[in-house]
Amino acid sequence: MNEFRRLWGFLSSACVGIFYRFTFEVPFDRTKPYIICPNHTSNLDITAMSLLAKNDCCFMGKEELTEGLVTGLFFRTVDIPVNRESKMSSFRAFKKAIEKLQSGITMIVFPEGKIPDDYPPQLHSFKNGPFRLAIEAGVPIVPVTSLNNWKLLWDTGTRHGSMPGVCHIYVHKPIETKNLTVDDADNLRDQVYRIMKGKFDSMN
């Protein structure tokens, strides 16, 4: 299913002249499980993160994504939907995510929770979930800054439209969490936010 998602995303982007270029702060083994933590400014981010992950990967996102034509296919099979209004749903999703990480599957979680409404986009505050998840699962977290995806496709395309070009994605070095406790989750969140905001602001 993940190979299908990568192929579908690549081909649908290529058909309109959109391609992806990744710059890595340091090389690392992408076949190991991580929590990939990207900013979210465009629907292109989903394809970009699917292409970035070399092993099996899984998105965690809002339950409404199960209703989408394409997203619903994946969120009813390999991805993890979350009802944010339900503590039980959040707990079950969190537990399932840990199980997937322990089985070698990379999790992709957008810490902002959604594509912000402001235009041009700014980096909004991060939710705590992916950072606590990384600590409890003992896996590194990989900050990823999508620098210009929003310029090529703004959300659904209704405000900015789509245009051909290259999406530039900066992959920061992984941050280890093995020596951290859940009490460090807020500090880890703030650290990742500063890293990503500095990169995003410097390029926009």
What domains, with CATH codes, occur in the chain?
2-203 (3.40.1130.10)
CA distances from 170 to 62, 67, 84, 118 (A): 25, 31, 29, 22
Prior bond to 120 cis, omega within 30?
yes
pLDDT top residue among 170 and 6: 170
CA nearest neighbour of 200 among 144, 152, 126: 144
Mean per-residue pLDDT of the chain: 88
pLDDT digits (tens, 9 = 90+) for 92-122: 988 999 999 999 999 999 999 888 778 788 8
- The residue count of the chain comes to 204
Average pLDDT over residues 16-44: 94
d(CA 24, CA 75): 29
Question: Residue 59: what pLDDT?
Answer: 92
> What is the DSSP annotation of 134-168?
HHHHT--EEEEEE-SHHHHB-BTTTTT-B--EEEE
- Quick: pLDDT tens for 163-177: 899 999 999 999 999
DSSP 69: T
What's the mean pLDDT in 144-153? 92
pTM: 0.90
% the chain with pLDDT above 90: 57
pLDDT cut 70: percent of the chain above it: 88
Q: What is the mean pLDDT of residues 20-25?
A: 97
- Amino acid 66: pLDDT: 66
CB neighbour burial string for 154-178, b if at least 16 within 10 angstroms, e if fewer:
bbeeeebebeeeebbbbbbebbebe
**N-to-C CA span, the chain:** 35
d(CA 79, CA 96): 10
pLDDT recorded at residue 157: 45
- The mean-pLDDT minimum among 132-141, 152-161, 188-197 falls in 152-161
pLDDT above 80 (res 91): yes
Q: Is residue 5's pLDDT more than 50?
A: yes
Going by pLDDT thresholds of 50, 70 and 90, the confidence category of residue 72 is: low
Q: Which two tokens stand for residue 106?
A: 């990379």
Q: What is the pLDDT of residue 110?
A: 95
Structure tokens at 138: 């003992």
